[in-house]
Each structure stands twice: as structure tokens, then as C-alpha cells.
Amino acid sequence: MASSVYLCLLRAVFLVCFVNPLIQGLSEDESVFQNPHHQQEENLTGLPIVTFKWHHVETPYLVIIWVFVAGLAKLSVVELNHHVISVVPESGLLIILGFILGGIVWGADRAQTFKLLPPTFFYYLLPQIILDASYFMPNKLFFSNLGAILIYAIFGTCWNAATVGLSLWGCYEAGVMGNLDIGLLQFLLFGSLIAAVDPVAVIAVFEEVHVNEVLFILVFGESLLNDGVTVVLYNVFDAFVALGGPRIDAAEIFKGIFSFVVVAFGGSFLGIGFAILLSLLTRCTKHIQIIEAGFVFVVGYLAYLTAEMLSLSAILSITFCGICCQKYVNANMDEKSVTTVRHAMKLLANGSETMIFLFLGVTAIDTEIWVWNTGFILLTLLFVFIYRIIGTFLFTWMLNKFRLVPIEVIDQVVMSYGGLRGAVAYGLAALLDEDKIPEKNLMISTTLIVVYFTVILQGITMKPLVQWLKVKRAAHSDLKLIEKLNNRAFDHILAAVEDICGRIGDNWWTRGWNRFEENYISWLLMKPKARKNRDYLFSIFHKLNLEDAINYVSEGERQGSLAFSRSDEAANVDFKKQFGSEFADVMPNIMVDMSNYELGIEHFSVTSIVKDTIPSVSLDIHGQDRKNAMDDINAHHLLQQHLYRSRKHHRHKYSRSHFSINQNEDEVQEIFQRTMRSRLESFKSTKMGVNPAKKITKHHKKELTHKMPNGHPDGTGHLYGDEEVEGLCVFLPHLIEAGIENPVFLPDMDSPTHSPPWLMETEAVAPSQRAQRRLPWTPNRLRRLAPMRISTCSTDSFLMADVSLTLEEHEEHSQTDHVEM
Amino acid sequence: MGSTNSTLLKIPNVEVLMQETGFSPAHIIRLHDRFKALDKEGRGHLCPHDFGAIKELAMNPIGDRIIGAFFSPGKETVDFHTFVKILAHFRPVDKDRPKEPNSPEPINSRSNKLKFAFQLYDQDKDGKISRDELLQVLRAMLGMQVTDEQLESIADRTIQEADLDRDDTISFEEFRKACKHKRFTMFRFCIRPGERKLMLTLCHWSSELQDQHEL
């Protein structure tokens, strides 16, 4: 591991060492021979077979080389020793690596040839990061905290800019900084640019410290919007500086404030407009699915550039474009395009983020920009830090008077500490006009120092701080099993009760908006088909079933034969119909859709499953497993590892580099599947009472229970063990019968709602093997399993004890059901 | 304020309800809103499938049990009064409530909270958590990759730990004792008070525990 890391590093360094002198040497050549083109042509004596044409490709080549180096840098940083990674955030490491690379370049050139120029940053690197952040924004969370986010973003930023600027000016007037050529307006301009809390840096750090989702969205949302606000503020002050102090009167100030409002909100509305355009566009890309993914990027960028052109806030524009369009675009586009967009978006954003941090480091290694003024720099650091804290507490105090859930003190501390400055501040500083602001370089170097200080130092200390703030507990190593279990159970209970009580933001406004959105906006912006498929439960259910079907096939392939999936002999079971009939009664409204889904595998010949070779090792594994489990089971460990997490602890959904860092996704699916199946079960068991062909059903059931999970749902796959095959063999005749007699199996019968109840019991051929192994251990299920366990001398017989009892109970139960019905 | 009163007046016996549960008028209104939202067909009571429609509950491994806790045995519906009373279990323990010796124990007392949790395990309502019942809970709450043997061994050990009278079941008394252990003194399992703020607080220890695992 480590060696490969160093190899990567070495490679990166080598590359830079070799390529840069090469580039340098070549550009010197260029300057020596005034016109290489000309020279070449003149000296031409014969037809050259190959020529070296560096100048043709110079710019794109350099760009791509740097992209490549950035990629390598990221690779080496991520693969670096995990101890380092856990201490220093990735962004900090990239900056440090940038120092090294910058040093190499400087060593070769004696000057910094490569810099992060503001146009490059604002036009090519920033947009995709903002688009990514907004496109994957957890919308519900964002909008339910929108008020707080706006307060922090707008007033917090203004507060920071004003206080930092004014305090610096005050200190300057007091003579702390010596002789500088800076006026009040310039100080305010500097204050406004340094007020930009950088979303990239913030996410990079906050993703590694796991804070609660409200805190995350507050910090993240704030930093995202605050960039926009900063730029607007910066432009206003820039205009003031250009205007010059004496000419500013009340009217100009009023105009400045007005322009601030217009620019910020105008940008936002422009973004929303582009979001609508994008949603409408994706509505009609049914026949050109291959390019619909491109629209997301193009329209997003267009929103950015258009806003820039109209001198509205470009960042806010692209932010709102991303936030507003995501729902409709994702629903409208083909599933493949959605995946493409996601991957491409993450790729672009991650790439530019890496470039930005790397270049923030590289840029620093330059003698030109460094102007040192101890007073100015240290005071800036101090003020930035202090006013952030004061501002956060001040605004939180005001917000808490209105908020349903007050923001706690710890959260406030983390928030104020999370005021990381990043590339936006640097970009704005580099954008300063040297004619108007003579001390530009001082401002740049101060900004850089603030960036390094916040990203690296605060980044490093953030995690320990979060841990330390929450660690108000004694060590608890000797927690008992029952306590552990209870802890988690209580979590689940709380989560459930909270769901029953409704969400906190679930008030009249949200409900009204939701209704409006559902009725009108969705109608306008979503494909009719997409609207129908929106049903949440169904979409998950569909996904799970697809997955099951795929697993079913791959399981078959793993067993060494695919014959069963494409055999036309004997008892064919129409997978689709079978499936449909099983769930028809529970979800009648979705069954119509269900028949539209081509699963690709329509015919499963059960006979071939039976004929399929039974892996001879499976029983051994079985025995071994049990033995091992009995021997060295560490119950505590197991509990810790496998207890389902409560929804309470699901982390925020946005992640820089993954679509979801919520590792509970699988769990959620598992639980969901179980819940649905157990509900199905209970539904069926009540249905059983009205079953006319009760005898047959019972028979079926007995055979079928044979096939119930035999206690090893661990995926080691002894699917076709003796018991199952036995069960299937007995079951088979009925199945064939079913296949022939059942009208549901007739072709072109799409409505499976009238399937005979006894068909519902044919679950041995139900969607998948895995799904069966996952059948829930509800009380009903256990009772039904009980008789079978005895008859087959099953090994996992924790039910043995009360078998007879449960059997009776079961009989009684169904009897009473019958009566009740 | 007028609307508040008029909403309250629509709820029958609202004073009795408030006294029994300790909810503030705003709480009651908030819960009533929610109740009406859940009761889509407007029948004035909720059925299990009304709860089933809450999509988050389908993601909760013991969601069905919690739904079940709202329905007393043999009943298929739950009305607003019962609904509120069950939710009252989750109110914080009132520290400054004047202790009247004769008054009945409030719903949100510690022991009632524990009883609520206990009955989620004790599905057959015999006052004991048997091995089977524990196994069912474990099966519901543990990932599928845990084998049944492991599950059983966990269940056995859990019972051993808590079982004081060696009858291989956990009675409520034993359950309570197990939960008293050290950090369970911080047991908070409640809805936080505050005018219109209806909020559940997490038991602090468990969230810390979680953090430690994840970090």
C-alpha cells in the first residue's frame, strides 16, 4: 500500500521535474528563434518524416499536463497513509502538495510560471463545483432551513465584511500597520472579499467530521449562498472604490444597497428561470436520450454566464438552477442519463476542486506577491476569526427566537469555527485592480495566509474539536448486550414516533406548497410517465425486485448453469405474471405499471433448477459455519457491527466525491424489503381465511415452508441444499398445474387482480431466491415454519420448543379468521 | 389566538386530555393537525394501514411493532385520545411537577416509558420477554448477514445478563434493572416541551455511542 503511494508521489514529482524544464527550455527556444515556424520552413531541405511541433499544442498540452498532475496529486493524497489523512483534511494536503509542486516549478523557472488566474477560476473551475453542490443539495433539508441559511448568508456576510473592514481601518488609523496606502473603502472592499466562506473547503472538512444534518446544511448552504453574496458585495464596493471617496453621497449608497438586492435576487430568479427551461427541455428529449445529460451542464453553465453577462450574481444563478431543476430533471431523464449526469458532475467538480487546492498551493511559491505587514496580516486573521464567532452567535441568538428547533451552543461553536476561507476569496483578491488599490499584493498575500490558516489549521483542529465538544462522557466499554440492544431499539422507536408525529417543518405552508407543486409545477415540468412513477414506495420496490432478479440469474450462473433461465421445456413459469399475481392484491395500483417492466428473464424452468447440480460442499460449509459461529462468536462485536442504524443517525446526503455517503442505503433497502414482505405475509394470512380451496393451500404451504430460509442468510449460497430440492420436487406438480390452469398465465392478460388466492402461495418460484431467504421472521411466519422444521429435522430450531403449541394456535388462528371474514 | 381556541374546541374532552397527558394546547393542536393528516379518509380514527402509509416507517426495522403499540389488543382503530396518550409517553419527565401523593403516576414517568419499550419486546403480553420474543426483535434489528446461530447466541447471552431469577425470560423488573445500569440514569425518551415546538430528544448516551462507532 505504502509503496504504491510513494511510487505515485514519485511519479508526480518526476513528471513535474522533467516536464517543466522541458517546457521552460522550449519556451526559451521560442524566444531565441523569433519565429520558429519560419525558421523551420526555411531550413527545410527535404520532406520531414516527423517534426516536433510543441508550439502547436503548447497551451492545451500544459493544461492537460496540469490536470494530469492534479489527478496524480489527488490519487497520492487519497492513498496516502491513513493516519495522515485522518489528521489533515484532504484539502490541506492538496495545498501542501501544491507548495511542493510550486517549489519545483519555481526552482526550475526562478519565477512562478503557473498561477491561478481569476478568469480561469471563475469561468472554468468554479461553475461546476457550485453546480455539483447545488444539484446534489438535499433539497428538503435545504428549504426547511432556508430562512436560517439566508440570514447567515446575507446578513452574516455583510456583518463580517463590515466589521472586518471597519476594524482594520480603525487599527490602521490607530497606526498599528505603519504606512499603507489604503483608505476606508479599500478596507471595506477587502473585508467583503475576505468574508467569503468557501463551500469547497467547508465541505471538504465537514465531510470528514460527521456533524448532524441540520448543522451541515446550515454551514454548507450558508457557504454556498454566501459566495454569491460576497461577490455581489465585492462588486458594490469595487464600484465605490472606482467612484472614489468624495463622490459618494447618500444617493450612491442607496443605489449600492439597491444594486446589492437586485443583483442577488436577480441572479437567483435567473437561475430559477434556467431551471424551468432545463426541466422543460428534458421533458422532450425522449428520442435523443444520448444528449439529454449534456443539457444539464450546458444549461447550468449558460445560467452562470448569462448572469455574469447581465452583471447579476452568477454563483447564485447557477446555485438556484441546480437546486430547482434536480427533482424534475432526474424524473424526466432516462435512468442512464441520470447516472451519467451524476458521474460526470462529480468528476468535474472533484477535478476542479483538486486543481483549485493544488493551485492555491502552487501560487504561494512566488516572491512577487508576498508583501509582509505583520500588523495587517495578524489583525486580519484575528478579526476574521473573532467576528465570525460573534456574528454566528449573534445571528443564531436572533434565529433561535423564531426557530422551531433551536441551534445549540455546540453547533454554534462548530459553525463559527467552520468559517473556512478558500479559493473564492483568493480569486476575488487576485481580481483587484492594481491601479485603484495600490496594496493589492498585500491583500493577496493576506488572503492567502487566511486561506492557509483556515483550511489547514482549522481543518486539522476541526475534528478534534468536534470530538472534544461531544465527549462529555465516561468511557463505556462494559456496556451490556441488553443495553446495546435497547439503545438501538430506543433510537428506532424515537425515529418512528417522530415520523408518526410528523416532521418539524410539516406546517401549513409546506403542505400548501407541496400541493401546489404536485398539482401544477410537476404537471408543467415533468413527463406524465415520470409523474406516475414517482410513487416512492413503488420505485424502491421496483429497484429491489430488479436487483433480486439480477441476483437470481447470477446465482444461477455461479452454480454453473444458465440453462434454467432459457429453457422452453416443461413447466415454464411466467416470471412477470407470477410476480404480479403475488402482489396484486396488495398494490393493485402499481401492478399495471409492473407489467410494463420487462425484466429480461421471463421464463424460469423450475425443473432445471432441480436438475441443477447441487454443490457438494454446501453442507460442509453449513456445518463449519455453525461450528465457527458457536466457537468464537463475539456477541458484542456482532451487535455493534450489524445492528441497524436508526434513521436519526443517517448522515447528510451530500458528499463531494460520492453520490451518497450514507452507508445505510443497503440497510434501508433490507429493512424496507422485510417490512413489505412481512406486510404481505400478514395480508396473505388474513386472506387465507376466505380461501375457497383451503385444502390445496394448506398443502402448498406445507411444501413451501420447506423452502424457507434455512438459517443462513449470509449469502454463502447453499441455495439448493437437500431440503429445498426435496421441497421443490413435491411442489412441482402443483406448480405445473397452476401454470396450466391459471388464467393469469394466459398471454395478454395484463390485469392480475383476479388471481385465485391459492396462487398467491406459490412463492417457491416467486421473484428470487435471495428474496426468499430474506423472508421476515414475523410471528406469523415463525408459526408457519414451525411444523416443517420438525418434519425435516431442521437445524435451526429455536422454535422446536413450542411447535405443537404454535401449530395449534395457527390452526385456531386461521379458523377464527375464517369466521371473522 | 382565536383560531387556536376554536381548533381546541373542536376536540372533545380536550381539558381532560391535556390534564392526563400534560401536553400544552399548542401541542394538542399540532398533534391534531397531524392526526387529521394521517387520517386521509376522515373517519376520525386511524387504522394500521394509515400508519403504514408513512414511508419512513417502512424503513424502520421495528416500525411494525411500534405501529402495533398504538393498537390495544383486539382493536383495529385508534382514536385521537388514545393516539395522544400513547405519544405522551415521549414527553420529558417533568422535574418541577408538584408531587401529589394521591395523583396517579403520569404517563411520561420513567417507569411508564420503560413499560412502553418493554411491551414492544413482549408481543404476547405475558409480562416476560421470552427467548423467542428477543430473537424476533434481534432478527428484525440485525443485518441479514448475521446467521441464526450467532443470533441465538446473542439472545442467550442477553437473557443471561439480564435474567436475575434464572427463568430464562426477562421480566419487566429485570428489564428495568438492566436499564438502570450506569448511563441509563440519563435516560431521556421524550418530546421536548415548548409552545409549538414538538420535538423528540434523543437519549444522549446513545447518540454519543453512535458517534464513537462512526468516527
The answer to whether position B30 is within a domain reads: yes
pLDDT classification of A148: cutoffs 50, 70, 90: confident
- The answer to whether B197 touches A503, Cβ cutoff 8 Å, is no
* DSSP assigned state of A584: T
Angstrom distance (rounded) from CA A785 to CA A704: 9
The pLDDT of residue A301 is 93
- Angle, vertex CA A276, rays to CA A273 and CA A282, nearest 5: 140
Per-residue pLDDT band for A806 (boundaries 50, 70, 90) equals very low
Categorize the per-residue pLDDT at B209 as very low, low, confident or very high, splitting at 50, 70 and 90.
very low
Asked if residue B174 and residue B117 are part of one domain, the reply reads yes
Question: pLDDT digits over B74-115, tens only?
Answer: 777 888 888 888 887 777 665 555 555 555 666 766 777 778
**Percentage of chain A exceeding pLDDT 90:** 6
Is B102 domain-assigned?
no
A419 Rama sector, left if φ>0, alpha if ψ -120 to 50, beta otherwise: beta
Whether the predicted pLDDT of A62 surpasses 80:
yes
Q: How far does B67 lie from chain A, in Å, by closest CA?
A: 9
Mean pLDDT (whole number) for A605-621? 36
Q: Which class for A194: exposed (0-12), middle (13-18), buried (19 or more C-beta within 10 A)? A: buried
Shared-domain flag, residues B193 and B173: yes
Weakest-pLDDT range from A352-356, A566-570, B11-15, B28-32:
A566-570
CA angle, B29 then B33 then B34, to 5°: 120
Q: What is the pLDDT of residue A322?
A: 92
**Residues facing residue B200 across a β-bridge:** B191
pLDDT digits (tens, 9 = 90+) for A702-734: 333 343 444 343 333 333 333 433 333 333 334
What would the pLDDT profile of A201-240 be if each residue is shown by its tens digit? 787 777 666 667 778 888 888 888 888 888 888 888 888 8
* B118 and B173 fall within a common domain: yes
Query: Are both B148 and B207 inside the same structural domain?
Result: no
Of A150, A143, A154, nearest to A509 by C-alpha is A143
- The model's confidence at residue A688, banded by pLDDT at 50, 70 and 90, is low
Q: What is the pLDDT of residue A299?
A: 92
Using a CB-CB cut-off of 8 Å, the residues of chain B touching A639 are 142, 154
What residues of A are in contact with residue B210 (Cβ under 8 Å)? 491, 645, 649
Residues near A673 by beta carbon (within 8 Å), at least 6 away in sequence = A544, A771, A774
* Alpha-carbon distance B101 to nearest alpha carbon in chain A (angstroms): 30
The pLDDT of residue A305:
94
Provide the mean pLDDT of chain A.
68
Q: What is the per-residue burial (b if ≥16 Cβ within 10 Å, else e) of A770-787?
A: bbbbbbbbbbbbbbbbbb
Q: Provide the pLDDT for residue A108.
A: 85
Strand partners of residue B46: B78
Q: Which residue has the higher pLDDT, A631 or A275?
A: A275
| B168-207 exposure pattern, b = at least 16 Cβ within 10 A, e = fewer | ebbbbebbbebbeeebbeebbbbbebeeebbbbebbebbb
Length of chain B: 215
CA distance B210 to B215: 9
**CA–CA separation, B93 and B111 (whole Å):** 10
In-domain check, residue B104 = no
Please write down the HEC assignment for all residues of chain B.
Answer: CHHHHHHHHHCCCHHHHHHHHCCCHHHHHHHHHHHHHHCCCCCCEECHHHHHCCHHHHCCCCHHHHHHHCCCCCCCCEEHHHHHHHHHHHCCCCCCCCCCCCCCCCCCCHHHHHHHHHHHHCCCCCCEECHHHHHHHHHHHECCCCCHHHHHHHHHHHHHHHCCCCCCCEEHHHHHHHHHCHHHHHCCCEEECCCCCCEEECCHHHHHHHHHHHC
What pLDDT score was predicted for residue A497? 74
Q: CA quadruple A702, A706, A711, A715: dihedral positive or negative?
A: negative
CB pair distance less than 8 Å for B200 and A501: yes
The answer as to whether B101 is a domain residue is: no
Q: What are the distances in angstroms from CA A578 to CA A543, A609, A762?
A: 18, 17, 8
8 A C-beta contact, residue B112 and residue B105: yes
> Could you tell me if A204 and A352 are in contact, meaning their C-beta atoms sit under 8 angstroms apart?
no
Give the CA distances from residue A81 to residues A6, A460, A648, in Å, rounded to whole numbers and listed in that order. Answer: 10, 16, 32
From the list A288, A342, A317, A323, the residue with the least C-alpha distance to A122 is: A317
Residue A707 is placed in which grid cell? 423452502
Provide the pLDDT for residue B137. Answer: 82
Q: What is the distance between the alpha carbons of residues A78 and A670, in angstroms, rounded to a whole number?
A: 31
pLDDT at A800: 38
The winner for highest mean pLDDT among A610-619, A634-643, B51-60 is B51-60
Give the pLDDT band of residue A61 (cuts 50, 70, 90): very high
Q: Is B85 a member of any domain? A: yes
- Say which residue the cell 393537525 belongs to: B33
Mean pLDDT of A132-154: 85
| A451 close to B147: Cβ distance less than 8 angstroms | no
Residue A273 pLDDT: 93
pLDDT bucket at A13, cuts 50 / 70 / 90: very low
Ranges of beta strands (E only) in A599-724 are 603-605
Q: Output A716 or B181, whichever has higher pLDDT.
A: B181
Q: What is the enclosing helix (H) or strand (E) of A15?
A: helix A2-32
pLDDT greater than 90 at residue A272: yes
SS3 A157: helix
Task: Look at A47-56, A464-473, B150-159 and tell me which has the smallest mean pLDDT.
Answer: A464-473
Q: Calculate what percentage of chain A has a pLDDT beyond 70.
A: 56
Looking at the predicted structure, is the pLDDT value of residue A672 above 60?
Answer: yes
Task: Give the residue with greater pLDDT, A5 vs A228.
Answer: A228
- Measure the CA–CA gap between A349 and A342, rounded to whole angstroms: 11
Q: Pick the residue of A482, A514, A678 with the most B CBs within 10 A to test the interface with B by mutation.
A: A482
Residue B100 lies in a domain: no
In DSSP terms, B171 is beta-bridged to B128
- Asked if B121 and B68 sit in the same domain, the reply is no
Are B158 and A675 inside 8 Å of each other by CB? no
Q: For position B17, what pLDDT does the model report?
A: 80
Mean pLDDT of B12-29: 76
Angstroms from B174 CA to nearest CA on chain A: 11
Confidence of residue A196 (pLDDT cuts 50, 70, 90): confident
Cβ-defined contact of A481 to B161 (cutoff 8 Å) = yes
pLDDT at residue A44 in the model: 61
What is chain A's length?
821
Segment A634-670, tens digit of pLDDT: 666 666 666 666 554 444 456 666 555 444 556 666 7
Q: Count the neighbouring beta carbons within 10 Å of the beta carbon of residue A5.
A: 16
Q: Which residue shows C-alpha cell 390452526? A: A811
One domain for residues B71 and B31: yes
Judged by CB atoms closer than 8 Å, whether chains meet at A404 and B142 is answered as no
10 Å Cβ neighbour count for A679?
A: 18
Q: Where are the alpha helices (DSSP H) in A559-587?
A: 575-583
Q: Is residue A570 over pLDDT 70?
A: no
Mean pLDDT of B133-157: 77
Q: Please indicate whether, in this complex, the C-beta atoms of A493 and B182 are within 8 angstroms of each other.
A: no
Q: Is B133:B120 a contact under the CB 8 Å cutoff? A: no
Whether the predicted pLDDT of A271 surpasses 90: yes
Residues B210 and B188 in one domain: no
Instruction: Look at A398 and B157; give whichever has higher pLDDT.
Output: A398
Bigger pLDDT: A1 vs A423: A423
What are the two backbone dihedrals, phi and then psi, of residue B199, each rounded to the nearest 5 degrees?
Answer: -150, 145
Given a contact cutoff of 8 angstroms between Cβ atoms, the answer to whether A171 and A379 are in contact is: yes
| Domain with B80 in it | 2-93+202-214
CB atoms closer than 10 angstroms to residue B16: 10
Counted across chains A and B, CB pairs separated by less than 8 A come out at 235
In the structure grid, which three cell numbers stand for residue A669, read together?
433497502
pLDDT in tens, A503-524: 544 455 666 777 777 777 777 7
Q: For residue B53, is it within any domain?
A: yes
Contact B34 A645 (CB under 8 A): no
Q: Which residue of B has its CA nearest to A715?
A: B145
Q: What pLDDT shows up at residue A334?
A: 82
DSSP letter (8 states) at residue A401: T
**Mean pLDDT within B148-154:** 78
Rounded CA-CA distance B30/B45 in Å is: 16
Evaluate whether A578 touches A765 at the Cβ level (below 8 Å): yes
Same domain, B208 and B173: no
CA nearest B152 in A: which residue?
A: A798
pLDDT of the residue at A10: 44
Q: Are residues B6 and B85 in the same domain?
A: yes
Of A762, A736, A724, residue with least CA distance to A610: A724
Q: How confident is the model at residue A78 (pLDDT cuts 50, 70, 90)?
A: confident
pLDDT above 90: residue A302: yes
What is the average per-residue pLDDT within A750-775? 40
Regarding whether B142 and B177 lie in a shared domain, the answer is: yes
3-state SS, residue A793: coil
pLDDT at A559: 67
* Separation CA B125–CA B71 (nearest Å): 13
Q: Which residue of A has its CA nearest to B32?
A: A501
A174: DSSP letter:
T
Which chain A residues are within 8 Å of B136, Cβ to Cβ? 777-779, 782
Q: Which one-letter DSSP state was computed for residue A123?
A: I
Residue A670: its chain B contacts at CB < 8 A?
143-144
Residues B182 and B206 grouped into a single domain: no
Residue B26 inside a domain? The answer is: yes
How many structural domains does chain B have?
2
What CATH code is carried by the domain that includes residue B144? 1.10.238.10
Q: Say if CB A210 and CB B211 are below 8 A apart.
A: yes
Pairing of strands B128-129, B170-171: antiparallel
Chain B: residue nearest A485 by CA? B138
Residues β-bridged to residue A645: none
* DSSP sequence for A585-619: TT-HHHHHHHTT---S--EEEHHHHHHSPPPTTHH
From the list A483, A494, A506, which residue is nearest B184 (CB)?
A: A483
Say what the pLDDT of residue A706 is. 41
Categorize the per-residue pLDDT at A365 as very low, low, confident or very high, splitting at 50, 70 and 90: confident
Whether residue B167 sits in one domain with residue B206: no
Between A573 and B159, name the one with better pLDDT: B159
pLDDT at position A317: 93
CB atoms inside a 10 Å sphere around CB A748: 4
Please say whether the beta carbons of A447 and A425 come within 8 A.
yes
A interface test, pick of B148, B164, B172, B210 with most A CB neighbours within 10 Å? B148
Cα–Cα distance measured from residue A231 to residue A629, given in angstroms and rounded to the nearest whole number = 61
Residues in CB range of A567: below 8 A, 6 or more apart? A603, A605, A607, A608
Residue A212, SS3?
coil
